[in-house]
Every structure is written in C-alpha cells, then in structure tokens.
Amino acid sequence: MTLEGGVRRYLIETWGCQMNQHDSEKMAGILGGLGYEVARDAREADLILLNTCSVREKAESKVFGRLGELRRLKDTRPDLIIGVVGCVAQQAGESIFRRAPYVDLVMGPRNLARIGALIEEARREGRSIGLARDDEPIVFPAGTTARASGPRAYVTVMEGCNKSCTYCIVPFTRGREVFRAPEAILGEVRDLPARGHCEIEFLGQNVNAYHHGEHDLASLLHMADRVPGVRRLRFTTSHPGHLKQRIMDAMRDVPTVCNHLHLPAQSGSDRVLMSMNRGYTRARYISRIEYLRKAVPGIAFSTDLIVGFPGETDDDFQATLSLLREVEYDQIYAFAYSRRPGTVAALLDESPGDEVRRERLQTLLSAQETIQRRHNEALLGRSFEVLVDGQGRLDNGLMKGRTRCNRIVHFPGPSRRGDFVDVRIIRANAHSLIGELFVARGAA
Ligand code: SAM
Ligand code: SF4
C-alpha cells in the first residue's frame, strides 16, 4: 500500500563525503527507474534511506539518533521501509537490526546496484541485508544516476581503497580498489553537457591511483578535456603518495583542469605520518606543493588534517601548525582524531586525550582563519571567472558560484545557474567572498 494515489515516494538522507553524495544520486536514479518519486519530507515517504558515514564516531552516532526519531513514524506506519545504507551499514551489518529492530534493510556501499531487489525483499520477507565480501565483483550502476541540479556532476572513476592508514575505517567499509573502464567513464562524461553539467569532478577515495590498462588519471583528464561541452575538470581525493609527475603535468597542460587541488596531508610531523602509515614525508609532500605552485598559475590548495592522533606530542602538533603556515592553504578540513574499532590505531594508547584534541583543533582552526582572511583580502579588486551554481543559501538574494580555483563567491544577479560570469571581488572576510558582476559571458 502506498501513501498517495499508488505512487511510491522515497527520501534519502546523506551524511559524509562526495562519494556518499554521489552514491545517493545513483540510488535516486535506480529508484526513479523503478517508478519512485522524491518525497518532500519523511512523513510523505514510503521508503527512507539513511546513507551513512562511519569515518568518525560522531557521524555514526548521529545515524542512530536519526533512527530513533524515525521509529515514531514507523510505529504509526508499519508499511514504511527504513533502510540503513553506506559505510555504517557495511561496518555494523546485522547488529543494526539488533540495535534498531524497526530497520527493514541494511546495505553496504558496494551493493548499491542491488537496492531495488533488496527493497522488494524487505517488503516480501520483512527484512533484507546486502553486505559485500571482498571477493565479490563490484557492479557500477550505469546510466541511471539522478544528479543534483547544477552545473557540476560527479563521475566515479574508482571505488575502494588499498591503503591502510592506521586510523581509517574506509578500507573496511568500501573494500579493495576497483577501477572503471575509461570507455564507461567517458561515455558518462559525454552525456553530461547536454544535461546542463559542464563541470565534471572525477571521484575516488584515491582518485590519483586510477589505472586501467594503459590509462591513468592523467590520460583520463586529457580524454575528458576533448569532450565537447566540458568546460571544467576536477578530481578528488588525491593521495600525496600517488601524485605522479604525469598528473601534475596534466594539471599544468590540460586547459579544462581547474587550478585547485585537495591534497590531504593529515599531519605535519614525520613521526605521526609514519605512525599513520601514510607513506610520505612532510618534505615530499611540500615538494609536490612547490612544484605545482610554480607550474599552475593561481593554484589553490585545500587539505585534511587530523589532530590528536594517538601519541601526538605538542611538538608533533606544532609541526602540523607549521605545515599549515608554510603551505598557506586556501581551505582546510580539520578533525579531532576519532577512534575507530577495528583499525590499527584503535590499539594505540589514548593520549593526548579528548580535551587536548579539542584545544588543538581550535588552535589549528584559528590559525587557518588568519591565513584565509589574509588570502581573501588579497583578492579584493581582482576578477574571476565564476560558474554560477544558483541562488546562495543565505536569504540575501545573492547568487552563488565557484571560481576555477574552487573559491565560492556570492554576487548580485542577473545571471542563471550554469552561466559563466566575470565577478570582481568587493568584500572579503575569512569565510566568504562577495563580488559584483563584471562582464556576463553567457551560458555554458
Ligand atoms: N581518501 C582520502 C584521503 O586519503 O585523504 C580521504 C578519506 S576520509 C573519508 C576523509 C578524511 O577523514 C580523511 O582525510 C581524514 O582526515 C579524516 N579521517 C579519517 N579517519 C579519521 C579518524 N579516525 N578520525 C578523524 N578523522 C578521520
Ligand atoms: Fe582512508 Fe587512507 Fe584510504 Fe584515504 S587513503 S580512504 S585516509 S585508508
């Protein structure tokens, strides 16, 4: 039975990284193909999927908090199907049914192509579970993605991760690396400009480890650059250990590749990097940044940093602060270390403790704020090509768009989503840039 007029409606709530966001788009595509429509809210939905993240404990506990809220809905509507999918599902498996018996479906990220069958099984049998074993081939659902509107489109080039960073749960939840064939990737890319997507972002946990036959990420970028209608190319997330010369050269030489790189450092201390099993030193990391700064005009860098890794001393933390100041990142994502059961780091000592972690995080964020403010103020008066995303989220009537170097700029219209415009920066603070329209360039 459905809520309204025979149409089944779904709601997907997504936590975590771009890979999770894109997985939700893929599931939405599959559900659309099965005749489902999007629900406006949970009350209107016949199917609610929580697409979860288990990278940090906090993200994981939020899922169970949300499930507690949904329970009330399920009590009033037993036909409602509630699914936990994504990394928490793969990690916690059947135990989710014990903790939240009203959950109908549990599915890991590598089983995504089976979502339709698992929903049917849950309706029929009252419960279904789809968890991947490492020896199972992963199926990339093709041609069914329901992408968020806007000029940017994510395209998966690889799944999984073969690294073993000692703090990280991802290799357990997303499995070993699997690479998509270049023909499949380019087939998807060719389809996107006609659907209003002229900025393509290649996705993978270790996107720059991509290889398939004779192809690597550099050759993918060269090939995608030649696809008519593609105006900008990005890729994430890169591992510093796989940032080969060919990829850096592609960043310099391929016209559509944007001048921004997200390059997670995690720590500025060689001792901690070793204990994290990251496979590079601070000096090697900085050599890549220095090379790209010279090779790619105006390049912006962002990074991920973890503070309070087990055994991190004050000197180690100072080394991370000094890395931040040396590189002068344009943006950082900083996290207090979170212990993940099953990882190697979970067996290490508990020092420096959560209070020190919180303090270090604050110190790092305020150092970054100073850098960002200075960077942004230096942009006053300069103009940038901005690709318009649409209305900004703030209720101030401003449009929002991104520069090639991935800076978000707000500015007054007139312009439409998908337009390229020139915007001159007229106001800057640490976290935002306001501009004015300089020259309208017209639609993509
Ligand atoms: N594959 C990417 C890489 O190698 O950098 C990122 C994957 S992870 C989803 C995103 C970020 O979460 C990591 O770069 C790291 O900074 C952070 N992270 C992962 N595990 C963590 C943990 N146990 N505690 C705190 N932060 C963590
Ligand atoms: Fe996690 Fe390291 Fe793999 Fe990134 S490279 S997903 S941090 S194990």
Tens of pLDDT, residue by residue over 399-437, are 999 999 999 999 998 889 999 999 999 999 998 899 999
Nearest-angstrom CA–CA distance, 245 and 130: 40
Pocket mutation for ligand 2, best pick of 164, 203, 205 (most atoms within 8 Å of C-beta):
205
**pLDDT score of 317 more than 90:** yes
Average pLDDT over residues 173-181: 93
What atom of ligand 1 comes closest to residue 165's alpha carbon? 4
> Residue 55 Cα, ligand 1 centroid: separation in angstroms?
7
What atom of ligand 1 comes closest to residue 343's alpha carbon? 23
Pocket mutation for ligand 2, best pick of 55, 169, 206, 303 (most atoms within 8 Å of C-beta):
206
> Residue 301 Cα, ligand 1 centroid: separation in angstroms?
17
Smallest Cα–Cα separation from 20: which of 142, 97, 108?
108
Residues pairing with 13 in the sheet: 50
Nearest-angstrom CA–CA distance, 43 and 39: 8
Q: Which ligand is nearest to the CA of 357?
A: 1
* DSSP one-letter code for 430: S
> Residue 335 Cα, ligand 1 centroid: separation in angstroms?
8
**pLDDT score of 1 more than 50:** no
Lowest mean pLDDT among 15-29, 136-150, 352-366, 418-432: 136-150
> Residue 167 Cα, ligand 1 centroid: separation in angstroms?
8
> Residue 339 Cα, ligand 2 centroid: separation in angstroms?
15
Question: Hey, CA dihedral for 212, 145, 115, 175, is it positive or negative?
Answer: positive
Q: Which ligand is nearest to the CA of 264?
A: 1
> Residue 274 Cα, ligand 2 centroid: separation in angstroms?
14
Per the CB < 8 A criterion, the answer to whether 116 and 31 are in contact is yes
Higher pLDDT, 2 or 254: 254
Per the CB < 8 A criterion, the answer to whether 11 and 45 are in contact is yes
Nearest-angstrom CA–CA distance, 158 and 140: 10
Strand ordering across the sheet containing 37-38: 37-38, 9-14, 47-52, 81-86, 105-107, 128-130
Average pLDDT over residues 29-36: 95
Average pLDDT over residues 283-308: 98
Smallest Cα–Cα separation from 87: which of 209, 172, 5?
172
Question: Hey, CA dihedral for 35, 199, 48, 83, is it positive or negative?
Answer: positive
pLDDT above 70 as % of the chain: 95
Average pLDDT over residues 231-251: 97
For residue range 346-362, list pLDDT tens digits in order.
999 889 999 999 999 99
Residues near ligand 2 (Cβ within 6 A): 161, 163, 165, 168, 170-171, 205-206, 239
For residue range 59-85, list pLDDT tens digits in order.
888 999 999 999 999 999 999 999 999
Smallest Cα–Cα separation from 321: which of 275, 262, 265, 378?
265
pLDDT band at 263 (very low <50, low <70, confident <90, very high): very high
**pLDDT score of 203 more than 90:** yes
429 Cβ contact partners less than 8 Å away, ≥ 6 residues apart: 373, 376
